[in-house]
Structure 1
C-alpha cells in the first residue's frame, strides 16, 4: 500500500483525534455529536497510523513529499 499522507497531515489528524477524545472525556460533547466525532476521530487515527487516506486516491491528492535523489 502506497502512502499518500505527509508528516504534517498525519500529525494534524492525530492532534484532532486527541482533541475529540479530550472533549468527550471532559463532557463537553455528548450524544450524537460525540458519536459522529468519535467515528471521524477513529478514522483519522487509523489513516494517520497507516499513512494512507483512501479519499485522496479518487481525487488524485497526496500530501507526501516525494524523495528527490
Structure 2
C-alpha cells in the first residue's frame, strides 16, 4: 500500500471522523446518529494509515508526487 492521501485530506478526514464518533457517543439516545456516528471510524483509520481504498479504485491521489 502506497500513500494516496495528502496532509490536508488526512486532516479533514480525521476531524470529520472524530466529529461523527463524538456524535455517536454524546448524541441523543435512541437516534439514528448512535449507529451512523460509528461510521466515523472509517475516515479516522484511513487518515491514520494515509491510504484510501476508494481512491485506489477511482485512481485518485491527493498526495504530492515524489
Question: TM-score interval w.r.t. the shorter chain?
Answer: 0.7 to 0.9
Contact 1:23 1:29 in 2 (8 A): no
- State the TM-score, normalizing by the size of structure 1: 0.78
Which segment is superposed worse, 24-33 or 56-65? 24-33
* Residue in 1 that maps onto 2:14: 14
Size of the aligned set, in residue pairs, is 66
- State the TM-score, normalizing by the size of structure 2: 0.81
Structure 2 alignment gaps of length 5 or more? none
Bigger relative CO (Cα 8 Å, ≥ 6 apart): 1
* Residue in 2 that maps onto 1:59: 58
Measure the CA separation in 2 of the matches of 1:15 and 1:43: 12
Contact 2:27 2:34 in 1 (8 A): no
Contact 1:24 1:30 in 2 (8 A): no
- Name the CA shift for 1:36/1:23 in 2 (closer, same or farther; >3 Å): closer
Structure 1 alignment gaps of length 5 or more? none
Note the aligned Cα RMSD (angstroms): 1.8
